[in-house]
Structure 1
Amino acid sequence: MSGTARRLGLVGLLAAAALWLLIAVPTPFVVYEPGLAAPLEPIVSVESGDEPGKGTFYLTTVKMSSVDNFWLAFRSAWSGDRELYRKKDVLGGQSMEEFAEKLRFAMQGSQTAAIEAAYRTAGVAYDIVPERLVVTDSRDPDAALRAGDIIWSADGDAVRSAAALAAALSDRQAGDSVVFSVERAGVRTQVKVRLAAGAGGEAEPEALAAALGGVGLTELRRIEPLQPGNKVTIAAEGIGGPSAGLMFALQIYDLLTDGDLTGGIKVAGTGTIDAEGKIGAVGGTAYKVAAAARAGAGLFLAPEANYDEAEAKARALGGAMKVIPVATLADAIRELEAQPGGPPAPESGGQTVTGRR
Structure 2
Amino acid sequence: MRLIPRPGRPVVFTAPLHDARTATVIGRLLGPAVVVCFATGLLSHVLQHPPGLLVDRLPSRPYWGYRLTQGLHVASGIAAVPLLAAKLWAVYPRLFAWPPVRSARHALERISVAVLVAAALFELFTGLLNTFQWYPWPFAFVPVHHAVGWLLFGSLLLHVAVRWPEIRDHYTRRSPGTLALPAADGPDRRELLLGVGAAVTAVTLTTVGQSVTALGPLELFGPRSPAHGPQGLPVNRTAAAAGVTREALLDWRLTVTGPRPYTLTLDELRAMPQHEVTLPLACVEGWSKSARWTGVRVRDLLERAGGGPRAGARVVSLEAAGAYRVTEMGRHHAQDPLTLLALRINGEVLSLDHGHPARIIAPNRPGVLQTKWVGRLEVA
Higher helix share: 2
Query: TM-score, with normalisation over the residues of structure 1?
Result: 0.28
Higher strand share: 1
Structure with bigger RCO (C-alpha 8 Å, 6+ apart): 1
Query: TM-score, with normalisation over the residues of structure 2?
Result: 0.27
Q: Which has the higher Rg, Structure 1 or Structure 2?
A: 2
